[in-house]
Structures are given as structure tokens and as C-alpha cells.
């Protein structure tokens, strides 16, 4: 009997595929069975907002907030979703000629506000995340001075 590797998830719910997908699309709430359709659904915000080269800062903040919340909500990874979302936000900020974002604000004083902003995003209300990201951007810019 072959020993399972430590990353083997064949007995896990994570290994379940959508019926009719030829084991190419993981089980999902939308019942999507074709990888091209899944790619379209998952990449909607990225296609809409990247490259993030908006002139108006409020447009940048809206783009960052929506992409950040949606990535957290779809949680595509078993581990590291927050880190990935923060890295992506920083990349988008750099595309918009802003500095790398310092997220220490949400790991300290505004942690509960951050969780609430993600929850509010479930209803496609990104305003709380926009407010947090505006603070993070300001703080990041000021730290360069």
C-alpha cells in the first residue's frame, strides 16, 4: 500500500469535483462544470480592475476594495488568502503609482473593522473596505515622508 503524502487530499471534501466536469472543476456553489466558465466567473474583478491604472484615487480605492473583498470571499486557497489579497492590493496600488501598502493598521487597531468590512462585502457593499483602504493608503504615503 502506497503511503499518502502530506499534501494528499484524496479523501477530503477538497478533492471533490463537479459532476460532469471530467474531474477538472472542483465542487462549487454555482454548479459550474466547465473550467472556462469558472475562469470567467473567478477573474471578473481582475479583468475589470487590472491593470489598476486609474487616475482618480477614489477609483483606485474602489477597485482595491472590490478585488480584495471578493478574493477573500472566494477563499481559493486552503491557507494564505489574506496574505494573497494583501499582496494583490499592493501590486494594484503600485500599478496606480501608489506605494506598497502597509497593512499593519488592520493587524492591530482596525482588525475587527476589517472583518466587518469583509462581511459587509458579502452584500456587494464595499464602502467599509474602501474606508479602510483609504486609511491604509494615506498611512502608507505618510510613512514615506
* Statement: residue 107 has pLDDT above 90: no
- Nearest residue to 69 via CA among 45, 48, 36: 45
Per-residue pLDDT band for 134 (boundaries 50, 70, 90) equals very high
Instruction: Provide CB contacts within 8 A for 39, sequence distance 6+.
Output: none
User: What span, in angstroms and rounded, lies between the C-alpha atoms of 101 and 67?
Assistant: 15
How far apart CA 99 and CA 102 sit, in angstroms, is 9
**Is the pLDDT confidence value at 6 over 70?**
no
CB under 8 Å to 61, separation ≥6 — which residues?
Answer: 130, 133, 134, 137
63 pLDDT higher than 90: yes
Whole-model pTM: value is: 0.74
Average pLDDT, the chain: 87
Amino acid at each position: 500500500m502506497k503511503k499518502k503524502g502530506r499534501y494528499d487530499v484524496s479523501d477530503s471534501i477538497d478533492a471533490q469535483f463537479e459532476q460532469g466536469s471530467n474531474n477538472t472543476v472542483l465542487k462549487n456553489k454555482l454548479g459550474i462544470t466547465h473550467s472556462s466558465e469558472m475562469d470567467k466567473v473567478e477573474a471578473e474583478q481582475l479583468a475589470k480592475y487590472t491593470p489598476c491604472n486609474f487616475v482618480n484615487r477614489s477609483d483606485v480605492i474602489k477597485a482595491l476594495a472590490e478585488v480584495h473583498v471578493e478574493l477573500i470571499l472566494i477563499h481559493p486557497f486552503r491557507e494564505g488568502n489574506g496574505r494573497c489579497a494583501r499582496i494583490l492590493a499592493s501590486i494594484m496600488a503600485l500599478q496606480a503609482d501608489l506605494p506598497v501598502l502597509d497593512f499593519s493598521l488592520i493587524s492591530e487597531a482596525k482588525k475587527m473593522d476589517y472583518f466587518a468590512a469583509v462581511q459587509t462585502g458579502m452584500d456587494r457593499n464595499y464602502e467599509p473596505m474602501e474606508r479602510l483602504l483609504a486609511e491604509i493608503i494615506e498611512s502608507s504615503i505618510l510613512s514615506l515622508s
